[in-house]
Structure 1
Amino acid sequence: MDDQTTLLIFDYAFVAFHFSLVVFILTGWIWKKTRRLHLYVISATIFSWVGLGAIYGLGYCPCTDWHWQVKRALGETGLPASYIKYYLDQVFGFSWEPFTVDVLVAVLGIGAFLVSVIMNFRDWQTQKTGRE
Structure 2
Amino acid sequence: MWYSFLNIFFFVFHTIFTLFNIVGWIFQKTRKLHLITISLTAFSWFFLGIWYGWGYCFCTDWHWTVRQRLGYKDHSNSYIHFLILKLSGINLNEQMVENATLVIFLLCFILSACLNIKDWRIKKNKSQNHLS
* TM-score between both structures, scaled by the size of structure 2: 0.91
Partner of 2:71: 75
**Distance (whole Å) between structure 1 residues aligned to residue 74 and residue 88 of structure 2:** 18
Q: In the alignment, which of 121, 126, 132 is matched to residue 130 of structure 1? A: 126
Partner of 1:7: 3
Answering whether residue 102 of structure 2 is matched by residue 106 of structure 1, we say yes
Partner of 2:23: 27
Q: In the alignment, which of 59, 62, 70 is matched to residue 58 of structure 2? A: 62
Partner of 2:130: none
**Distance (whole Å) between structure 2 residues aligned to residue 99 and residue 126 of structure 1:** 40
Give the deviation of 1:78 after TM superposition: 3.9
Give the deviation of 1:33 after TM superposition: 1.6
**Distance (whole Å) between structure 2 residues aligned to residue 34 and residue 96 of structure 1:** 31
Q: Deviations over 1:84-113 (max 9, x none)?
A: 111111233232211101101101111110
Alpha-carbon RMSD: 1.2
**Distance (whole Å) between structure 2 residues aligned to residue 37 and residue 16 of structure 1:** 19
Partner of 1:51: 47
> SS of the counterpart of 1:60?
coil
Partner of 1:121: 117
**Distance (whole Å) between structure 1 residues aligned to residue 71 and residue 12 of structure 2:** 20
Partner of 2:81: 85
Q: Gaps spanning 5+ residues in structure 2: where?
A: 128-132
* TM-score between both structures, scaled by the size of structure 1: 0.91
Percent of counterpart pairs with the same letter? 37
Partner of 1:17: 13
Q: Deviations over 1:61-80 (max 9, x none)?
A: 00000000000001011411
> SS of the counterpart of 1:65?
helix
